[in-house]
Chain A
C-alpha cells in the first residue's frame, strides 16, 4: 500500500497497553477538532471529534482531550490492539469549515 508514514514520529506500544497520541494546533480561532486513523493503502477514517466548548469526549476505547490554554489535543486509546497500528493525525477546523491537518504519528503495536 501507499506509504504515508515517512519521516513521521513513531509511537511503539505493547499490545494491551494504553496509547497517548499528542497534537499541537496552531489557530486560536479553531473551534472543532477531529482525530483520524489512516491505515496503509486507505483513506483517513474518522475516529472521534470534539468541539471547543468541551475539554473531554469519550468513545469506544478512545478518549480525546482538549486543552485550549496551550492549544493541545490528545487521543488516548485504551488496551491497544494490533488493529490499532496506523498513522493517526489531528485536524483543526474553524467556523468557516476549513481544516488544517497535522502530519501524523505512526503507531506501531507490538505483541
Chain B
C-alpha cells in the first residue's frame, strides 16, 4: 500500500531534550516536506526537500533541522525543543511534476513541557 509513515504518533518530552521524528514513503517520490498544524491555522511548511541531499527552509523553519540522505526517508530533528513547538506534525510527499497532490502521513502529536 502506498503510504507515508511517521513515527512516533505521540511524543511527550521536556524542554531541551533532542528528538527526532521519522518519516518514510514508499512511493519513490522525489519531493518530501514537513508541516505543523496548530488550532485554527492552516498547515505551515517547516522544511522541504526536492531530492536527496537537497533541503530548503519553508515558512517556519526556526528550531528545526532535516536531512535527506535517502530518497524514502526525511527525518525532522528538534535539537532543543521548546514549548512553542508543541504541535501536530505532518510529513508529506509528492511526485516531482507539476500539479501533483501531497500525500500525508498520519501525524505526530508532540508535547514539549
Nearest A residue (CB) for B102:
A99
Which one, A8, A43, A98, A104, contacts B104 given CB within 8 A? A43
Within the complex, the shortest CB–CB distance from B103 to chain A, in Å, comes to 7
Known: A41-B107, A44-B90. 13 other contacts (CB 8 A): A2-B88, A2-B109, A4-B39, A4-B88, A6-B39, A41-B106, A42-B107, A44-B102, A46-B103, A91-B102, A97-B31, A102-B42, A103-B41
Within the complex, the shortest CB–CB distance from A4 to chain B, in Å, comes to 6
Q: Is the CB of A4 within 8 A of B106?
A: no
Q: Does A34 contact B (CB under 8 A)?
A: yes
Interface residues of A (CB under 8 A from B): 2-4, 6-8, 31-32, 34, 36, 41-46, 49, 51, 89, 91, 93, 95, 97-104
Q: Does B99 contact A (CB under 8 A)?
A: yes
Nearest A residue (CB) for B95:
A97
The 10 A-B residue pairs whose C-beta atoms are closest, nearest first, are A101-B42, A43-B104, A6-B39, A7-B40, A101-B43, A32-B99, A43-B106, A44-B104, A46-B101, A103-B42
Within the complex, the shortest CB–CB distance from A38 to chain B, in Å, comes to 9
Q: How far is the CA of A6 from the CA of B39 in the complex (A)?
A: 5
Within the complex, the shortest CB–CB distance from B48 to chain A, in Å, comes to 8
Question: What B residues does A34 contact at CB under 8 A?
Answer: 101-102
| 19 sampled A-B residue pairs with Cβ under 8 A | A2-B107, A4-B37, A4-B39, A7-B40, A8-B40, A31-B99, A34-B101, A42-B106, A42-B107, A43-B4, A43-B90, A46-B101, A51-B99, A89-B43, A91-B43, A91-B102, A93-B99, A97-B94, A101-B35
Question: What A residues does B75 contact at CB under 8 A?
Answer: none
